[in-house]
Amino acid sequence: MNDELRIVDLIGLSKDELFRKLGEDYIITEGSADQIDSVGYFYPRYNIKFTFDWDDIAEVIYCYGGSDINGACLGMNISEIESILGKGKTLISNNGPPYSLRYRYDDYFIWFSFYDEDGCAGGITIGLWSVSYTDNINENPIGMPEFFNDIGKSFRVLKNEHPNAQIRILLNGYPNAAAAGFGDPYGAYSYFFFGGQDGDFDKAMNELNEQLKCAGFVTTAGVLFPGMEEDMSFSDFFSLIDVSDYEYFGDDPDTITVQGWLYFTYDNMDVWLNANEASGNGGWDFTDTETIKRNAPVSIVNTEISGQNQALADAVMFN
């Protein structure tokens, strides 16, 4: 592939347009979707293969060797690739190679795959974001805390697994509300079950210990996102975690109760993050600096589970 013809320029072309650019010296292949012999058009000259959608649009390009993305190529590790292309989103997956480094652009993605987190890239995939392949992969960011595996566990099970933990009424996980939690008072995180402004949280937790499920966690930004720096601007932070859509509640009298908080979704869960500055009296000062600290309080919640918990708890707390 020469400088005048970049691989990424081929994604989204029609079959006829592709043939005009590369010629018709291809091999039609069939087989499993993650192998070189999968259904598609393989060009031995370039060692790349194309698959097309029903409208004969090139939707995925598989690169098997001799190809590079602005100098990033097979055989490089994650650090080497990021030194060329910048910070990507590092993921683990249950499908195909277990580790990957993904870059998202306006209408396509670039995906470097690895069989070892510290190993070298063994494959490069370029595809349109419309490809369902990118939506069906069961993926989680590398470095996502291991305690995320506890989401959905009952309160009873968690009590058995953590005999020294305590029911905790958490005041930092939500703006203008408390959270019913469970964990070590000096631990890095607490399990989240439901929230509210009043009611007998302890009663609900004790009476519903089998029905209540872990819906999320209350922790700090640095625990939830281990890759973040001590202080980060909003733009750098959201670029790091690959989030483009968020809401910041600034100096608006109509939203005074959530002033200085950020709301966004991450891994299909709701996140509230306190971007205020800790004050000397144990409270929070609104500074509007648009900076996130590693020790910023944050909650991340599966809303489906928390909604079920909330309905159960409300029926008990106020009875």
Residues 101 and 41 in one domain: yes
Question: By CB neighbour count within 10 A (0-12 exposed, 13-18 middle, 19+ buried), where does 125 fall?
Answer: buried
Instruction: Give the rounded distance of the alpha carbon of 194 from its chain centre.
Output: 23
pTM: 0.58
**Quick check: 224 pLDDT over 80?**
yes
Where among 118, 141, 164 does a domain terminate?
A: 141
Q: What are the φ and ψ backbone dihedral angles of 200, each rounded to 5 degrees?
A: -90, 90
Give residue 228's pLDDT: 84
Task: Let me know if residue 13 belongs to a domain.
Answer: yes
Mean pLDDT along residues 62-78: 87
Is pLDDT of 3 > 60? Answer: no
Which DSSP symbol is given to 9? G
Tokens 């002033």, located at residue = 259
pLDDT 10s digits, 109-132: 888 988 887 889 988 999 886 654
- Are residues 167 and 125 part of one domain? no
**Residue 176 shares a structural domain with residue 257:** yes
pLDDT in tens, 141-151: 545 677 887 88
Q: For residue 139, what pLDDT is reported?
A: 46
Mean pLDDT, residues 226-245: 88
Is residue 198 exposed (0-12), middle (13-18) or buried (19+ Cβ within 10 Å)?
exposed
Q: Which three-class secondary structure state does DSSP give residue 228? A: coil
Does 244 have pLDDT greater than 90? no
Answer yes or no: do 179 and 215 share one domain.
Answer: yes
- 160 and 93 together in one domain: no
Least confident of 29-33, 204-208, 215-219: 29-33
Length of the chain: 319
Mean per-residue pLDDT over the chain, rounded: 83
Read off the pLDDT band of 1 (50, 70, 90): low
Range 63-89 average pLDDT? 86
Q: What is the pLDDT, as a whole number, of residue 131? A: 54
What's the domain count of the chain?
2
* 101 and 240 share one domain: no
pLDDT attached to residue 5: 59
* Final residue before a domain boundary, out of 100, 118, 141: 141
271 contacts: CB under 8 Å, gap ≥ 6? 262, 263, 264, 265, 298, 299, 300, 301
Q: Are 181 and 194 in contact (CB under 8 A)?
A: no
Residue 283 lies in a domain: yes
Per-residue pLDDT band for 106 (boundaries 50, 70, 90) equals low
Report the alpha-carbon distance of residue 162 to residue 202 in Å, rounded: 18
Residue 249 or 97, more confident: 249
Residue 232 lies in a domain: yes
**Predicted pLDDT at 159:** 92
Residue 240: how many CB atoms within 10 A of its CB? Answer: 16
Question: How far apart, in whole angstroms, are the C-alpha atoms of residue 37 and residue 35?
Answer: 5
| Same domain, yes or no: 265 and 307 | yes
Query: In this structure, are 155 and 253 located in the same domain?
Result: yes
CATH of the domain at 21: 3.40.33.10
- The CA-atom distances, in angstroms, between 51 and each of 26, 27, 63, 105 are 12, 12, 12, 20
Last residue of a domain, one of 86, 117, 141: 141
- CA–CA distance, 301 with 296 (Å, rounded to integer): 16
Q: How far apart are CA 51 and CA 57, in angstroms?
A: 8
Which residue do the tokens 């058009």 mark? Answer: 41
In this structure, are 89 and 155 located in the same domain? no
Strand runs labelled E in 261-308: 261-266, 269-274, 277-278, 284-285, 291-293, 297-301
Could you tell me the residue range of the domain that residue 263 belongs to? Answer: 147-317
pLDDT given for residue 138 in this prediction: 39
| Over residues 17-36, mean pLDDT | 76
Q: Stretch 83-94: mean pLDDT, rounded?
A: 76
Q: Are residues 53 and 156 in the same domain?
A: no
pLDDT over 50 (residue 250): yes
Residue 170 shares a structural domain with residue 24: no
Q: Are 167 and 182 in contact (CB under 8 A)?
A: yes
